[in-house]
Structure 1
Amino acid sequence: MPKQVDHDERRAVIAEATWRLIAERGIDAATMREISAAIGMANGALKYYYPSKNAIVRTAFTHVFEATNARIRARLGDATGLAGLRIFCREVMPIEGVTRLEARIVLPFWQRALGDAELGAVYVEAMAIWRAQIREFLRTGRAEGSVTTDADDDVLVEQLLAMLNGVQTLALLDAEAVTADLQRRMIDAFLHGLG
């Protein structure tokens, strides 16, 4: 009798191995052969799940995005407004080991998304989710009275996304200048300016 394969579980194992491989050794190391070796799967079997390099990159980015969102949800608890927004930002910024590794996935994904409409659409969809979350934090912050700035929420959302996306590049390429402490102070200064 043929062995039953849980394809969702196998995809999750492949995604985990792929993002780790890219984060630790770079996008060029994430070949079908290396991913297959990392999980003990035949190269041909891997192609069933991910037929191209872009499919691998998309999987790694999606895995990181979903893991970030899961951490945000877990750490938010009852936090709303500026307190919730601070938690959100700190889970996105490359401050700690895992978030620094995740940023190493984001950078090569951006490069590929520039030339690939399908990957570009994945990024646009991800940022739409984060825009909605940030807007909700701002809305509740205004209702609670912790957000009092006259600045338009659409502008604030884009400023914050620009800072969060930009700090991933800065912190990875110049870690001595853009330390975890500086990243925390950047966010705190931005959020302080909203009150």
Structure 2
Amino acid sequence: MTPTPATSTTITEWRKERTVPKVVDHEQRRIEFVEALWRIMSRVGFEAATLQNISAEAGYANGAIKPYFSTKDDLLTFAFDYVFTQTNARMAEATRGLAGVAALRAYCLEILPIDEVKLNEARIVIPFWHLSLGDSAKCEVHEEAMRRWRGVMATHVKEAQDAGEVDTRLPVSTVVGQLLNMMLGAQITATLTPADQSVDDLVEQLDTFISLLQLGTGDRIPAAATTAQSAGPRRRSAPRSGGSGSAGRP
């Protein structure tokens, strides 16, 4: 039985609480479903995720997700856009006050899946790529995201060349293309073969690529130098386990 308030004042307040509709933050609700999708994908993969178990994972009844996402593909498209937005926000913060090589490195570190948040983001991106193969609208969403990243990377590479940090003979578009392909490839390998791609490995690959841009002569590193470098001590991070993460993206 519902308790009855003791005074007329509390009765009025009590009636208001029972009659005023609860205000729902719809954007936050969508994000909760995205984060629920992340957790399910980290355990059993995208194909095993359903609207029903995503809704349950988020703590809601089966039909609660339908007003927001009518299909799993709709949720994945929203999740990709969310990841991209959150990643861009991190990039802006990480590169604040930086230019040239320092900005380029900081920018790329926000794409590399080197923590649980960015690994979860990669888990969203990969199935989105798969669905985009037969969906021109999704392809355009992805291409628009990549155009933005290429543009910012190109700006930082040009800054580095103007400052004498990077070989000016290297075409900016080629450097950007190689670097972006490396970042996207890292999302695949870190997701599919995490035991072979530690955090240290991924960061070292990025730093090695940047160091090649800084050679200045355009010559290859001598074989003796690469042998000595590879023989040096290597710190490997602990294997990452699947789990939930906050996008809090892009």
When normalised by structure 1's length, the TM-score is: 0.89
1:133 is aligned to: 152
Count of residues paired in the alignment: 195
2:36 is aligned to: 17
Q: How does 1:52-131 map to 2 (within 5 A)?
A: 52-131=71-150
Quote the offset at 1:22 in angstroms.
2.6
What root-mean-square deviation, in Å, do the aligned CA atoms of Structure 1 and Structure 2 show? 1.9
Partners of 2:52 and 2:63 within 8 A in 1: no
CA distance in 2, matches of 1:168, 1:30: 20
Say which of 29, 46, 62 aligns to 2:48.
29
Could you say what secondary structure the match of 2:126 adopts? helix
Which amino acid in 1 is paired with 2:165? S
How has the CA–CA distance of structure 1 residues 185 and 158 changed in structure 2, closer, same or farther, with 3 Å as cutoff? Answer: same
Which amino acid in 1 is paired with 2:66? K
Q: Which has the higher contact order (CA 8 A, sep 6+)?
A: 2
Identity across matched positions, percent: 39
Unpaired segments of 5 or more residues in structure 2?
A: 1-19, 215-250
Which amino acid in 1 is paired with 2:26? H
Higher helix share: 1
Could you say what secondary structure the match of 1:156 adopts? helix
Quote the offset at 1:165 in angstroms.
0.8
Larger radius of gyration: 2
Quote the offset at 1:173 in angstroms.
2.2
1:194 is aligned to: 213
2:3 is aligned to: none
1:43 is aligned to: 62
